[in-house]
Amino acid sequence: MVCYNVIGLVDLIDHIIAYDTDAYQLVFVSRLTEKLRKDGILEYIYGPNIHLEIVQRSTEIIVFLINAEALTSVELDVIWSPVEGNQHRSIVHGVCHVLHEIADILTLENKSYLFKKIRLMPMSFIESQTFSLIKALVVSLIDHTPPLRSTSVSITYVLCKRYTYAIVNEKLLIGCS
């Protein structure tokens, strides 16, 4: 596995943005995305040797993947893996914080996938940082929903309402039993 300096990757991304030609950017973005995947950069950052400071500095890499339309459920699984892997609470908080920071720019599919992941979390793992992430995802869904018309309801609004209801009710029911 190749070890990269996360700050160096951010500088490289800034270099890409500095060029004006769309063709150059498309080729470079495509190659960098391929290299990030091939070298397992997210796996390195969020893998077994995870470190909170590295996680906190990885936001720009995830933003790059989102802007390149290359963030898939596979990458989200890697990012979410410390939460499922029973990592220390500070690491889980760091992962939730990174996802909270990018909630506004995630695609609807990415948000939906994260809601599914959150629903699978045991109630004992849900803490203030997780609720903050849920709130950020819900608010971003509502903020990016076109105004409702009297004859039709936005699918985003329906999804937002359904996921919020399901998460809250499921967690309340589990907590009561």
Tell me phi and psi for residue 126, to 5 degrees: -80, 115
Q: Are 123 and 175 in contact (CB under 8 A)?
A: yes
- The tens digit of pLDDT for each residue in 125-166 reads 788 888 899 889 988 887 766 555 544 445 555 566 666 666
49: its two tokens? 């040797």
User: Domain total for the chain?
Assistant: 1
What sections of 58-146 are H helices per DSSP? Answer: 59-67, 73-84, 89-101, 108-119, 128-143
For residue 1, tell me if it sits in a domain: no
* Mean confidence (pLDDT) of the chain: 79
Round to whole Å and give the CA distance between 166 and 79.
23
Residue-level pLDDT at 173: 46
- Is residue 101 a part of any domain in this protein? yes
Q: What percent of the chain has a predicted confidence (pLDDT) above 70?
A: 67
Does 156 fall in a domain?
A: yes
Gap between the Cα atoms of 165 and 154, Å rounded: 17
Other Cβ atoms within 10 Å of 40 Cβ, number? 13
**What is the residue range of 125's domain?**
6-176
Token couple for 9: 């990757």
Write the pLDDT tens digit of every residue in 8-46: 666 666 665 666 566 556 777 888 899 899 999 999 999
Inside any domain, residue 165: yes
pLDDT in tens, 41-91: 999 999 999 999 999 999 999 999 999 999 999 999 999 999 988 788 899
In angstroms, rounded to a whole number, what is the distance separating the alpha carbons of residues 50 and 91?
Answer: 8
Tokens 């004992």 belong to 124
| CA dist., res. 119 & res. 113, Å (int) | 10
Q: What are phi and psi of 121, to 5 degrees?
A: -70, 140
